[in-house]
Amino acid sequence: MPLKGKIEELKKRKEEVLQGGGEQAVAKQVAMGKLTARERIITLLDEDSFNEYDMFVEHEARDFGMGGKVLHGDGVIIGTGTIYGAPVAIFAQDFTVAGGSLGFMHARKITKIMDYALRMRIPLIGINDSGGARIQEGVNSLAGYGEIFWRNTLSSGIIPQISVILGPCAGGAVYSPALTDFVFVVENISKMFITGPEVIKSVLGEEITQEELGGAKIHAQITGNAHFFAESEFECFEQIKKLITFIPWNNTRKARKFEPKEPKPTYNIDDIVPGDPKEPYDVRNVIRAIVDDSDFFEIQEMWAGNIVIGFGRLNGETVGFVANQPLVMAGVLDVDSSDKAARFIRYCNAFNIPLCTLVDLPGYLPGVDQEHAGVIRHGAKLLYAYSEASVPKMTVILRKAYGGGYIAMSSRHLRADFVFAWPGAEIAVMGPEGAANIIFRKEISEAENPDEMRRQKVEEYKEKFANPYVAAAKGYIDTVIEPEETRKLLLHALEVSSNKVADRPFKKHGIPPF
Amino acid sequence: MALSRLDNKHLTAFIPGTIVDVKVKVGQEVKQGDILVILDAMKMHNRIIAPVDSIVKEVNVKPGERVCKGFVMVVLE
């Protein structure tokens, strides 16, 4: 056959694979309100940047009538491309082909692109849309999952790993996303659970829908398994693209630098934090008043809202922000907020992203349920993460910094490089009411008018300790600043810490309390 | 059952505290984000806000009252 004929044959073969699971299956996918795997990749990546590999891979299963079955691409598409010019490796499970079920060759395609991403030190994006293990392939299918989990762990902290849940992701399959850095979910489309509604009903007799058990909102609001929630696949892809602009290709690089921009004048830093320490406010507006173009990219917005995490830029450079949120549960630290912040801090540290911590919290949330839920070990994660982080660490105490919360929130004692406090900061071992009741118990109980005495002693304590100057006198905070100086000082701090050396004794790895 | 964490009709105290202000009455229409009650707890005047547009079905607190953790302060329709 002349070459021309062979090229024709190639085109025909490609054309066939591009059909995916065929017209009927594609129509079903569309009816579910979902894009096809290939549409997803093309929508997410830069135009014409996608190159597919292993298009002609075929499964080798022979049992249970699999011998004659043709499964195009074995139900998964792999390749490389770019997002805003940054290279990424990607796989997308194709639900139209045997329900995206994971067989031996399907898994081998995924692990091939994972190996490639790690070798080339580029981010990996996995689009999950699969019914689960391909039962006909038995233990080979389970082996495939294990190989994926192993590579997720191997790559962790070296290349960014992003999971996009655009369909069912159940049973063992959920553990790959759980091992990756960021999980994206979409309303009505994403479903994640270890055991589905049928199993729960047969074992426990409890009835629940897939959506109520492990839908997008559940993971965005309640479990904390998801980092980004979107109402459509298109919105989800925009979120992924934006995330890619904030993070580096791998752990030896810095994130891409952008043109510096001043914050928008709508966010006036002097007007955001009320003088009365009992008045709540939205700490995200303080971040917006500080970062370039007031552009704050929040992560896990709907879960553990009492702490805020996310990326912003200072002078064009990506910075990870951690801030107590007085608007939600007074901004207390608890099991979930400690967990949320600790993981983010470790992400930033692994990928050379400086940390900026904004402090305004009353302390840890008291309560039997918190204690019994293990707030000791969860709270310890935060201390561990901050202590371990060797990236530049900048702390601004906006208002309250009491007790264990003061220490945990990137204090000098955990090796913050810069600690600034606003003039309204109250840094003390506990609040004036509690402290006065303990220190002056005798005076108060023996006074003719105990209430009056208590009021006096509270005032006395407030005046003496509820300010930033006691801590400043010890050098625990570097300087007391006016709110409007914050951005200028943070920019300066970032500049002088660009060559920071933080040598630590060699160890295989630490034992964080997880 | 497990769905209680999704319940956005029963607004409870996340911690014991004192009611500072009650901004709504039974039968009143509320919009998402409206302040219903102010609860003094954890050194903060916490705003208890309407999670959805709704109508107030029950108000179980008065200013000055102390509430325990989990107390249902307001019920929405």
| Residue pLDDT, tens place only, B6-52 | 778 999 998 899 999 999 999 999 999 999 999 999 989 999 999 99
Identify the band that residue A38 occupies on the pLDDT scale cut at 50, 70 and 90.
Answer: very high
Asked whether residue A228 is domain-assigned, the answer is yes
For the stretch A222-249, pLDDT in tens is 999 999 999 999 999 999 999 999 999 9
Asked whether residue A164 is domain-assigned, the answer is yes
Task: Name residues whose C-beta falls within 8 Å of residue A95's C-beta, 6 or more positions apart in sequence.
Answer: A21, A25, A29, A34, A37, A129, A130, A131, A167
In this model, does residue A284 exceed pLDDT 70? yes
Same domain, A419 and A436: no
- What is the percentage of chain A residues whose pLDDT exceeds 70? 100
Same domain, A171 and A223: yes
Task: Name residues whose C-beta falls within 8 Å of residue A31's C-beta, 6 or more positions apart in sequence.
Answer: none
Asked if A278 lies within 8 A of B40 by C-beta distance, the reply is yes
Lowest mean pLDDT segment, chosen from A417-431, A453-467, B14-28:
A453-467
Q: Find tokens 């960021």 and name the residue.
A: A182
In this model, does residue A23 exceed pLDDT 90? yes
End of a domain among A246, A278, A311? Answer: A246
Domains in chain A, number? 3
Asked whether residue A276 is domain-assigned, the answer is yes
Chain B contact for A126, CB < 8 A?
no
Q: What is d(CA A254, CA A319) in angstroms, rounded to the nearest whole number?
A: 11
Asked whether residue A10 is domain-assigned, the answer is no
Asked whether residue A441 is domain-assigned, the answer is yes
Mutant choice from A195, A208, A278 vs B, greatest count of B C-beta within 10 A: A278
For the stretch A360-413, pLDDT in tens is 999 999 888 899 999 999 999 999 999 999 999 999 999 999 989 999 999 999
ipTM value of the model? 0.89
Taking residues B68-77, report their average pLDDT. 93
B43 to chain A: closest CA residue? A278
Asked whether residue A345 is domain-assigned, the answer is yes
Asked if A330 lies within 8 A of B44 by C-beta distance, the reply is yes
pLDDT of residue A493: 98
In this model, does residue A291 exceed pLDDT 90? yes
Lowest mean pLDDT segment, chosen from A92-96, A123-127, A347-351, A436-440:
A436-440
Domain of residue A444, residue span: 432-465
Asked whether residue A369 is domain-assigned, the answer is yes
Same domain, A314 and A330: yes
Q: E strands, A156-276, where?
A: 161-165, 168-170, 182-186, 191-193, 228-230
Same domain, A51 and A181: yes
Taking residues A192-211, report their average pLDDT. 91
Same domain, A172 and A155: yes
Chain B contact for A212, CB < 8 A?
yes
Asked if B46 lies within 8 A of A329 by C-beta distance, the reply is yes
Same domain, A302 and A344: yes
Q: Which of residues 40-59 of B touch A (CB under 8 A)?
A: 40-47
To the nearest whole Å, the CA of B43 is away from the closest chain A CA by 6
pLDDT of residue B1: 33
Chain B contact for A327, CB < 8 A?
yes
Domains delineated in chain B: 7-55 (2.40.50.100)
pLDDT of residue B2: 36
B45 closest CB neighbour out of A212, A280, A332: A280
Task: Name residues whose C-beta falls within 8 Å of residue A467's C-beta, 6 or more positions apart in sequence.
Answer: A425, A426, A427
Same domain, A74 and A192: yes
pLDDT of residue A435: 86
Asked whether residue A252 is domain-assigned, the answer is no
Same domain, A328 and A476: yes
| Chain B partners within 8 Å of A366 (Cβ) | 15
pLDDT of residue A138: 87
Same domain, A212 and A307: no
pLDDT of residue A1: 73
**Count of CB contacts below 8 A, A vs B?**
46
Identify the band that residue A293 occupies on the pLDDT scale cut at 50, 70 and 90.
Answer: very high
Same domain, A379 and A447: no
Backbone dihedral angles phi then psi of residue A289, each to the nearest 5 degrees: -75, -10
- The DSSP element (H or E) to which A397 belongs, if any, is strand A393-402
Question: Checking DSSP bridges between strand A426-428 and strand A228-230, what pairing results, if any?
Answer: unpaired
In this model, does residue B3 exceed pLDDT 70? no
Adjacent-strand bridge partners of A356: A321, A394
Same domain, A189 and A310: no
CATH code at position A73? 3.90.226.10
Same domain, A28 and A80: yes
